[in-house]
Amino acid sequence: MQTLSINGKNYQVDAPDDMPLLWAIRDIVGLTGTKFGCGVAQCGACSIMIDGTVVRSCSTLVIQAVGKKILTIEGNSLNLEHLRQTWTDNNVPQCGYCQSGQLISATALLDSKESITDEDIDNAMSGNICRCGTYVRIKKAIKDAVELRNQA
Amino acid sequence: MKELNLKRRDFVKIFGLVSGGLLIGCNLSGDKATIANLDDGISFMPNLFVQLQKDGKLTIVVARSEMGQGIRTSMASAIADELEADWEYVSVQQATGDAKYGNQNTDGSRSIRTLLNPMRKMGAMAKSMLESAAAKKWNTDVANCKAENHYVIDVSSGKKIFFGDLVEEAKTIAVPSEDSITLKDKKDFKYIGKKLKSIDIYDFTHGNAKYGLDARLPNMKFAAIARCPTTFGTVKSFDKSDAVDISGVEDVIQLDRLKPPTGKFFGMLGGVAVIANNTWSAFQGKNNLNIDWDMGPNASYDTEKYNEKITSRVHNKGKVVPPMRGSVGKAFKDASKVIEATYTMPHIVHAPMEVPNALAWVHDGKCEVWAPVQDPQTVRAELAHFFGFELENITINVMLLGGAFGRKSKSDFVVEAVVLSQKVNAPVQVVWTREDDIQHSFYHAQNAQYLKGSLDKNGKVSGWLHRIAFPSITSSFKPMSDYAAGFELGMGFTNNPYEIENIQIENVKAEAHVRIGWLRSVSNIISGFGVNSFVDELAVASGKDEIDFRLDLIGRDRIAQGNSPHPFNTARLKNVLKEVRGLSNWKKQLPEGHGMGVAIHYSFYSYVATVAEVSIKNGKVKVENIYSVLDCGMCVNKDSVINQMEGAAIFGMSLTLFGKISTKNGVVEQSNFHDYQMTRMKDAPNIHVHIIDNDENPTGVGEPGVPPIAAAITNAIFNATGKRVRSLPLSDHGMV
């Protein structure tokens, strides 16, 4: 039995040591906002933050997160709130499935930089595939979130 | 309670479905022949519910599947607009699969096209009843009662009453006849044609949206299935000992292929299923199976050799199909210039971000399913066929679809879940791995096209010969379907929009060795590439500007004859082409190494023109800008339409740059996103979309943006480099 701290709450998880976090979060803890897309860290749908760093939960073991703070899309942070607002203003999602991962990757980007260039966005967001193709809006929403933060 | 007027089938008020609420619906379920007759895309086919509660909550049942096209929002907004509802009170309930809703097949870019007016009438009818209810309550003339923003107002006195407070009174009002219902004037629209954010936006941004893969039941099991690496191969024998050693694995079950009957349904491939108490253990168990396969009838399928075969076939005469005009032979003989070209494209796959999956629970003679499906009624019928359940004992709960693109029209993954739930006597969720999705799909057809065209002494196109070879979708339903079907040729081949005196179209044999299925915009992808590339080659040969050349080639303003609900209109096609010239600042001075290319395509009754601007650096292509103009008639949710066009550009780029499924010895060589690549943020161009503002009937949106993209890009590459790319993807040419 392991203890995982997710979005400020502790969960007792009975998972094999080699189980990726994604499946512990989805199938054992029951938080389904974090998505399965590829299982091999190629698409970013399963992105979460561990102690402030964005990781692909499909390729991170449960044991690597024990004693650390996990943030998923169900959680909150100031930058995530800004991004939710601009995601909404720009009507970013189509099917919405990849957007949990997109928002988490974008949160990590906003956490790491004061001002953000197109190149920063390309670098931070190219690990997240959106098959619906909402990239133009994601880019705009990230820039708008930086603006929103500057105004706040 | 008022007696139902069952003689009039247009609208029937149904009481009692929700306690204390007013439910206005339509019921055609007693008359299946009527539904079948009406389902021609233009006739009135009521299939939606409006439910108003006393607290003012307005629940709108949406019967089409949500897969990113925004249908839950657009359908609800059309009803809410006519109902004069306050959007804040509106919520959407997803319909289960049931014929009483009419056709639910979310496919062919047709939901808005076929349902906008029926939806608006549903809203208008509800509004009329609420106004009558207020008049009755106030004992005044109904002409004085006007619905406005969730209230009815007496214009003579100024008093007003909340919609929710009219529920009881409205229940006593007779249902108005369809012809007494008037729809709003365009200028009075509050939601239709305006920017409206997705009704699911909060859930999307908080991880609350429930897709198929998020369906959960107590004590459910998770299943992964090993399927034969070749299509229709079978299990000879297997050893499960390493699989059952995995912690969490509970059972290993062999599944035989369920072969669909000729002409309908999808069946399932069969294989070996691992049942576990979590998804990961099921995946691990599957990987640890040792299976000896009989590779079956398609074990020699090699897409490279197949490409050579169909390419050689299109260089010989095929079956001539209508329309045939004049004599291409004579045109070629009399021509001042004749050119020819061969184009090829590989199989591609949908790869929606949410893999195929389904949760099924068979218990007490009932079968309940939670799944991301595009066509829940076909799923229901298929389950009735294979398992013998009565239709009323089958419930298909339609979850959100995490992308679909045609893959989730094929319900093989639901059949798998139902078989397994029956066998293990528990709820079972079948989850495909990404590898399963890439390697066992219903693929978009590999294809070859040969075009030959002539220019007369004035540089005008005089002859057009087009030969096409690709395995048909029909092959997935009917053995020996070795030629493209009429519906496939009607997607840009036989309905070529150009005014050419001598035309000959030939259909060329192409057998299927994998399951073939429809994929966003279907064979329009093939014609969009072939026709637009070849017209570009003709334009270059004639020495004319590519846009001027196309405008000439489309010819006179004319409207196609026939009984189409949306007759093809050349003026609208020319209009989008003229508009994209302005939008893209066509032939502006471009930096060194840049080029622009144009393509146009008419599909799903909509008109699209696209210009791509590319840059080439060290032989590598970057798409810098995509400009698309769409005429889809009136828009319900314009922002959502723009979003679809942006997405279509990215989807088209993915297939142009990277899209390739290849096989060796019948086995698909790609397996995941590292070798079946997608357009990513760093590749994404600036995308500029213009929607033609008009009052024409609404036509397709989800698919029409895709077909012109490939040729717009390769035509731009030609303008940048002088190199004509005639086979896709660009990654095969070392250009990405």
Interface test with B, best of A56, A71, A94 (most B CBs within 10 A): A94
Q: Please tell me if residue A46 touches chain B, with a CB cutoff of 8 Å.
A: no
Size of interface A-B (CB pairs under 8 A): 183
- Can you give the pLDDT at residue B173? 83
Of chain A, the percentage scoring pLDDT greater than 70 comes to 100
User: Taking CB atoms and an 8 Å cutoff, what residues of chain B touch A100?
Assistant: 207
Q: Do B207 and A100 touch (CB under 8 A)?
A: yes
- Can you give the pLDDT at residue A142? 98
Q: Rounded to an integer, what distance in angstroms lies between the CA atom of residue B680 and that of residue A106? A: 15
Residue numbers in chain B where pLDDT is lower than 70: 1-49
User: Taking CB atoms and an 8 Å cutoff, what residues of chain B touch A131?
Assistant: 351-353, 403, 405, 651, 654, 678
- Can you give the pLDDT at residue B42? 27
Q: Strand locations in B136-285, DSSP E?
A: 145-148, 151-154, 160-162, 221-226, 234-239, 249-255, 271-276
Q: Which domains does chain B have, with CATH numbers?
A: 12-206 (3.30.365.10), 218-296+356-431 (3.30.365.10), 303-349+443-733 (3.30.365.10)
Handedness of CA B472, B474, B479, B480 (dihedral sign): negative
Name the strand (E) or helix (H) holding A115.
none
Q: Which residues contact A147 (CB under 8 A, 6 or more apart)?
A: none
Q: Which of B569, B570, B567, B541 is nearest to B553 (CA)?
A: B570
CB atoms within 10 A of CB B189: 17
- Can you give the pLDDT at residue B362? 98
8 A C-beta contact, residue B705 and residue B630: yes
Q: A77-120, pLDDT tens digit by residue?
A: 999 999 999 999 999 999 999 999 999 999 999 999 999 999 99
Q: B298-322, pLDDT tens digit by residue?
A: 999 999 999 999 999 999 999 999 9
Q: Please tell me if residue A117 touches chain B, with a CB cutoff of 8 Å.
A: no
Q: Which domains does chain A have, with CATH numbers?
A: 2-71 (3.10.20.30), 78-151 (1.10.150.120)
Rounded to the nearest angstrom, the minimum Cα separation between A57 and chain B is: 12
Average pLDDT of every residue of chain B = 92
The number of CA neighbours under 13 Å toward the Cβ of B529 is: 30
8 A C-beta contact, residue B711 and residue B533: yes
Place of tokens 């799923």: B379
CB atoms within 10 A of CB B178: 16
- Can you give the pLDDT at residue B23? 43
8 A C-beta contact, residue A82 and residue A142: no
- Pairing, β B249-255 against β B271-276: antiparallel
Q: Rounded to an integer, what distance in angstroms lies between the CA atom of residue B352 and that of residue B374? A: 13
Interface of A with B in 54-113 (CB under 8 A): 72-74, 84, 87-89, 91, 93-100, 103
The pair of structure tokens assigned to A58 is 């499909």
User: Taking CB atoms and an 8 Å cutoff, what residues of chain A touch B198?
Assistant: 91, 93, 96
Q: Which of B95, B37, B40, B29 is nearest to B563 (CA)?
A: B40
The pair of structure tokens assigned to B711 is 């040729």
Q: Which of B541, B519, B360, B352 is nearest to B460 (CA)?
A: B541
Q: Rounded to an integer, what distance in angstroms lies between the CA atom of residue B497 and that of residue B571? A: 11
Q: Rounded to an integer, what distance in angstroms lies between the CA atom of residue B666 and that of residue B668? A: 7
Measured at the CA of B349, the angle between CA B373 and CA B727, to 5 degrees, comes to 150
Rounded to the nearest angstrom, the minimum Cα separation between A68 and chain B is: 21
- In this prediction, the answer to ipTM > 0.95 reads yes
Q: Which of B99, B130, B115, B109 is nearest to B30 (CA)?
A: B99
Q: B217-265, pLDDT tens digit by residue?
A: 999 999 999 999 999 999 999 999 999 999 999 999 999 999 999 999 9
Closest Cβ–Cβ partner in B208, B247, B687 for A16: B247
Query: What is the crossing angle of helices B709-721 and B638-657, to 10°?
Result: 60
Q: Do A38 and B673 touch (CB under 8 A)?
A: yes
Closest Cβ–Cβ partner in A97, A98, A134 for B643: A134
Return the bridge partners of B59, or none. Answer: B51, B91
Closest Cβ–Cβ partner in B354, B681, B687 for A126: B681
Q: Rounded to an integer, what distance in angstroms lies between the CA atom of residue B103 and that of residue B375? A: 9
Q: Rounded to an integer, what distance in angstroms lies between the CA atom of residue A17 and that of residue A10? A: 18
The pair of structure tokens assigned to A9 is 């709450």
Closest Cβ–Cβ partner in B209, B222, B680 for A126: B680
- Can you give the pLDDT at residue B168? 84
8 A C-beta contact, residue B12 and residue B6: yes
